[in-house]
Chains A and B, each alone.
Chain A
């Protein structure tokens, strides 16, 4: 029984449009697809084209149509033009080189490229030029090249674009098309001219040789352009009174590529560029398109300065144009030229700044980027006013970028510290929630280093907190500052402005308020708890602080709980250490002035912050360092070590934070002093006073071996060498020997390092150190220190049975050369510890 004729395309469309729901539409589509499939199965030649057309329609709506792929091929092979037309379209829409099926087209296309009808040839060229794979291009390049030389302009222009595609797919074939390009530019037909210029452009962009070769075409291109401008009204090519603006733009672009970096070519086009720039009618978009292209070309080639000024002035005029599109492209190109012609662009600064107030989002963004590029030491105050105003009123999408940009600009060009702090405050209070997380540590560092502004800063931050605690970055910075400088706050020492009267209790109220507020994130809570703790050495309300700390010892938030427990421990057992630990932060060495994002990257960590919110306090609280050791070692069997410090803490000389660590753990800075006898409490492990001992002062590759540990019969020696392929890797070999009478079993060597280090412990030779020095345990440690951090290492021993007092443990310092432009004050730090645990017996 013969199937009824498949419905026509327009029938299908009409039917589908009557569907009122998506489900209804789907149903209709499925029904039709089924009918089409049956029709395909019947190998119906008559209506195949109709079915494929319908399939393409359904495909556009988003329904699967892959079962029609082979049918397209059959259509292409048909003799009928109608079939071929829809078949090739289907192939272009449904097929791509990922399907093997497409290769079957190659033969058809080859035949069709030689067809007697130019429109069939055109279809073949079009399809090949759209989706021809490399194999197809290789096979058919010769045919394309032939057609590139034909006198038929319809085919010639298509062949040119097809050639571009071939070259993109198979770059080696580019040479092949070279001869055919010889007289492409002598064509009269604008379509051919246009696509020829595209082809030449592609070749020049791909190959410097081609570029030099085609430079000789410059005079010819200039002539063509001249004719276009000078020739009278040509109805054929006229678009709004300008003769073929598309071709003019294309030629200008090619001239740009040819003239770039080449004096002669640039010279040859100077005149025509000036002519176009001055004569082009700018009342319509087409004129502006040409003018715009001319400006870009002038800026890119080696044009004389008069011409460049002309170009920038044109851009300046564009900025005042009513047409938003013109303003947009002007801003875009000014952004490109601001690096090279900075002064010229500066002249238009006020117009650019006005664009910040434009209603159009795209224009505002461009204007913002350009404004940041134009900020310099001279205009910083004025520009910042505008930018802060912009920050206030702009869309949320912009605020993060704008805030970061402002911080960067302020850092580079701040006229005074007070201004800098004020600017930061302004950003934090107006766009505080949009400020990037990594700005917080940067700001803290800035504030710390502006020593004379501490009182002013903390006062302003405190006042801001009273107003609003919802913006986390602001709250975090404020908490940190109050923790550090709370004493200045209550003592009313501010010089810059009227000091406020605030009591200790009020301050603690605010900080406690942060802890309980629903608005505070866990990170913020951590900040405020630590700040409260710090105030224990600055305020006198010790009991209150103790109470808070102990309450949070049972907090659900693990981080908070951990901190509270440690601080509690500080109060209870290590109160003598507390003042030293919670002392004022020293000045931090400045990182490279590249702004927050750069410094974040130098750490090479994905989520690193310069002063990690979690670890910054831990620098002064070694209790949590032990937990970092725990983290590093990942073992539950590692007992955290509370490290001792000595009561006297020398003033740090403003060195890196690492020095701070060193100062905490060692009795002195660079000068070693003997460990004072500090009475130890007796946890089940040994706490040892430590002395520092610089190992070596030069950066020689050779590091002499040393004894790291020598106590109770256990001697551990380190020998060093640099790894051969990578001199940044130090290879340490430890030798452990045991002169006691009994073997030391379960000997485990562990190490913890700052997070910028990478440590690799290879397997030890054994975990039993035989008695009487009969043998040794060796183990290789590879240490990578990419940032060449100064690292203080202290070994520790842990043994259940060692209850004796400290003996000498000689810590040592591995010193490496400090790169001058890198500073690691922000590195996530733990004290480097080498912890030994020797089971005893």
Chain B
């Protein structure tokens, strides 16, 4: 099970936060800070797995992360998920974002936080992997966006 998905930039500013287990608000922020602290210390040529921090972790939890340009994508998972599989999943998610936003960059995530959530929702649901086929995900997101657009006067 995936406990949390965190995306933040090189300075620790959150770009997308999704917890699949209840944490109080201030705890959430603490976890973000702690995770950033752990992950940002890492060299670029070390492995992508970290024992979970004390706040979000527990002995069963790991942080699996990938660093893309200015963003860290961090998945906090327990032992029921394959570590290498999650690495691939992060890649799928990022490539999907790339397809949806055309050469995605940090600004896209900043200004379209809600859209990113919707995309993520088609990949992971309730902390479990839902769909891994990129085209499928993109297609479904597109259709829903179109539905939104077709409704007049509703611009977020």
Contacts and interface: CB of A to CB of B under 8 A. Distances in A.
B9 interface: no
Interface string B45-89: 111111100000000000000000000000000000011110111
A360 B47 contact: yes
Contacts of B28: 62
A129 B155 contact: no
B10 interface: no
Interface size class of A (residues with CB under 8 A): 35 or more
B84 A56 contact: no
Nearest to B50: A362
Interface size class of B (residues with CB under 8 A): 35 or more
Interface in A240-276: 244-247, 249, 253
Contacts of B89: 246
Interface string A801-815: 000000000000000
Given A53-B156, A325-B48, A328-B49, A96 B22 contact: yes
Please report whether the interface of chain A is mostly helix, strand, loop or mixed according to DSSP.
Answer: helix
Contact of A246 (B14, B43, B88, B117): B88
A362 B51 contact: yes
A161 B128 CA distance: 7
Contacts of B155: 8, 50
Contacts of A125: 125
B10 to A, nearest CB: 16
A129 B49 contact: no
Contacts of A162: 125-126
A82 B156 contact: yes
Given A60-B17, A158-B130, A236-B133, A13 B110 contact: yes
Contacts, number: 170
A650 to B, nearest CB: 52
A188 interface: no
Interface in B80-126: 82-85, 87-89, 92, 110-111, 113-114, 117-118, 121, 125-126
B131 A157 contact: yes
B126 A130 contact: yes
Contacts of B45: 324, 359-360
21 contacts: A9-B113, A9-B114, A49-B156, A53-B114, A53-B156, A60-B17, A61-B14, A89-B118, A89-B121, A119-B143, A119-B144, A154-B140, A164-B128, A246-B88, A324-B45, A325-B83, A328-B47, A328-B83, A329-B83, A362-B47, A362-B50
Given A13-B111, A328-B47, 4 more contacts: A194-B132, A236-B133, A361-B46, A362-B50
Interface of B: 14, 16-18, 20, 22, 25, 28-29, 43, 45-51, 82-85, 87-89, 92, 110-111, 113-114, 117-118, 121, 125-133, 135-136, 140, 143-144, 147-148, 151, 153-156
Interface of A: 8-10, 13-14, 17, 46, 49-50, 53, 56-57, 59-62, 64, 80-83, 85-86, 89, 93, 96-98, 117, 119, 125-126, 129-130, 154, 157-158, 161-162, 164-165, 190-191, 194-195, 198, 236-237, 239, 244-247, 249, 253, 285-286, 288-289, 292-293, 324-329, 332, 359-363, 365
